[in-house]
Amino acid sequence: MRDIGFKHCQFVDRVGDTFRWKGENVSTTEVEGIIADCTGISEAIVYGVEIEGTNGRAGMAAITLDDGVVFDEAFSKTFLAELNKHLPSYAVPVFIRLLKTIETTGTFKYKKNNLKDIAFNPAKTDDDLWVCLPKDDKFTRVNAAEYERIQTNNYRF
């Protein structure tokens, strides 16, 4: 509840699309704003993806980088540290997809459906995919072997 003056109150809820992860509602719009403010990031789209054997949807961010920025292990460490500083642990994206450009509709809304369908399967896309494995301080590249380990619950997300 928020006091808006004149003895009136307003109910406050999450803004935009949401998904549930670790028993919490995650606002995609709020997370997109935080990611877009991070050093080296140009734009971000956030959505939830399913991981076999987990409850809810893990966060995934499709991002474009500023000119000259390379997403490597060093960048991923500082990027993850920045996310952890500004977001609660349940809202930090588990997966990152690097895009060259972000598709929008005629009304400039992000096209998320195709991204959600592909999720983090490297066999379905040529985009670079990264994952933050449990208790790790950086993002790790998702290849076919890593994808299989994630899908067979070798990690506890």
Is 7 a member of any domain? no
> What is the DSSP-derived secondary structure letter of residue 7?
T
- Res 109: pLDDT: 72
Is 5 a member of any domain? no
This prediction has a pTM of 0.86
- Res 15: pLDDT: 53
Q: What is the rounded CA–CA span in Å between residue 147 and residue 129?
A: 10
Is 13 a member of any domain? no
Start-to-end CA span in the chain (Å): 32
Q: What is the rounded CA–CA span in Å between residue 142 and residue 140?
A: 6
Is 82 a member of any domain? yes
CATH number at residue 60: 3.30.300.30
**Inter-helix orientation angle 28-36/73-86, to 10°:** 130
Name the residue range of residue 103's domain.
18-151
Q: What is the rounded CA–CA span in Å between residue 23 and residue 81?
A: 23
* 72 Cβ neighbours under 8 A, 6+ residues apart: none
Is 135 a member of any domain? yes
Task: Decide: helix, strand or coil at residue 92.
Answer: coil
Is 1 a member of any domain? no
Q: Per residue in 10-65, pLDDT tens? A: 666 555 589 999 999 999 999 999 999 999 999 999 999 999 889 999 999 999 99
Q: What is the rounded CA–CA span in Å between residue 134 and residue 98?
A: 21
Domain total in the chain? 1
Here the tokens at position 35 are 């990611």
